[in-house]
Amino acid sequence: MSFQPVVQYASRTDVGMRRSANQDSLAVRMCSAYEEWARIGHLFIVADGMGGHSVGDLASRITVETLPLAFFKSGAERLADRLTGAIEAANRAINDKARENPEFSDMGTTCSVLSLSAEGAWIGHVGDSRIYRIRGDVIEQLTFDHSLQWEMMRQGRATAERSEMLHPRNVITRCLGPDKNVEIDVEGPFDVRPGDRFLLCSDGLTGHLTDNEIGAIVAGLPPDDACRFLIDLANCRGGTDNSTVVLAVIQNYPPIESDTVESLAAKARTTNQLAVQAAAPERVARRRMWSRLAMTVFLLLAGTGLSMMILGQREKLGLALVVSAIVLGFIQLVMSARRTPTVVIDSESPPAGSGDALLGCREPALSSPYRRDSAALRPEFLAVLADAQSQLAAVAEENGWDLNIAQLRQPDRTATDDGKRTSDALAEHARAIRILMKEFAVRLRPRS
Distance, CA of 354 to CA of 332 (rounded, Å): 41
pTM for this predicted structure: 0.80
pLDDT, tens digit, 9 for 90 and up, residues 38-47: 889 999 999 9
Which of these CATH numbers, 3.60.150.10, 3.40.50.11900, 3.60.40.10, 3.30.390.50, describes 6-258? 3.60.40.10
Q: Is the pLDDT of residue 161 over 80?
A: no
- For residue 83, the tally of other CB atoms under 10 A from its CB is 28
Highest mean pLDDT: which of 112-126, 254-268, 381-395, 404-418?
112-126
- Distance, CA of 25 to chain centre: 22
pLDDT, tens digit, 9 for 90 and up, residues 179-194: 999 999 999 999 999 9
Task: Give the domain ranges of the chain.
Answer: 6-258, 266-338, 379-444
Distance, CA of 408 to CA of 405 (rounded, Å): 5
| Residue 359 neighbours by CB under 8 Å, 6+ apart | 138, 372, 373, 374
24 φψ region: left (φ > 0), alpha (ψ -120 to 50), beta (else): beta
Sign of the dihedral defined by the CA atoms of residues 46, 51, 53, 55, in that order: negative
pLDDT, tens digit, 9 for 90 and up, residues 362-389: 788 888 899 999 999 999 999 999 999 9
Q: Is 72 exposed, middle or buried (0-12, 13-18, 19+ CB in 10 A)?
A: middle
Write down the pLDDT at residue 269. 67
Distance, CA of 128 to CA of 62 (rounded, Å): 18
**Structure letter (DSSP) for residue 227:** H
For 368-394, give the DSSP string: SS-EEEE----HHHHHHHHHHHHHHHH
Write down the pLDDT at residue 342. 36
